[in-house]
Amino acid sequence: MPSSVKLDTLEKLIVNDAKFRITLASYVLVLVFLTNTMLTKSLAIGSITLGLYFLINGIFLANALFPRENSFIKLAFGALLLIMLLGSVGWVAMIAYDLDVASLSAVLLATSTISSLLNRKMRLKNVRN
């Protein structure tokens, strides 16, 4: 029970971010990921950043598309949707440009922006209703 309570509070913290601080944190994670890929190439830093990136943006997407599910199901579906969105945006980037480290970062930033905007749209829609 305590782990589900922690997940619920984390989800509420991420979803109810009105000042885009969590979105900014997602952008910083992309910057850390880019820096790690180019300079240090540390597996630990890359794994932690990617895990936090998936957590934040997966919750954004899950809240936008599955608002009535429990937190664990939202997190699972959000991660799957994020993988699909990354694949779609990455495919478009591969068609337009040769996908290297810099364009991979652009794909991550675009996905963060889409996830955040979908979450914001859903949050504003819930406030009006």
- 62, 75 contact by CB (below 8 A): yes
Cα(58)–Cα(116) distance, rounded to whole angstroms? 10
Cβ within 8 Å of residue 111, ≥6 positions away: 57, 82, 85, 86, 89
- 107, 86 contact by CB (below 8 A): yes
- pLDDT for position 99: 67
- pLDDT for position 122: 84
Q: What residues does each domain of the chain span?
A: 2-124
- 47, 32 contact by CB (below 8 A): no
- pLDDT for position 128: 72
Cα(124)–Cα(98) distance, rounded to whole angstroms? 37
Cα(33)–Cα(105) distance, rounded to whole angstroms? 8
Q: Mean pLDDT per 10-residue run, the chain (129 residues)?
A: 72 84 94 93 95 93 87 89 90 77 85 90 76
- pLDDT for position 83: 93
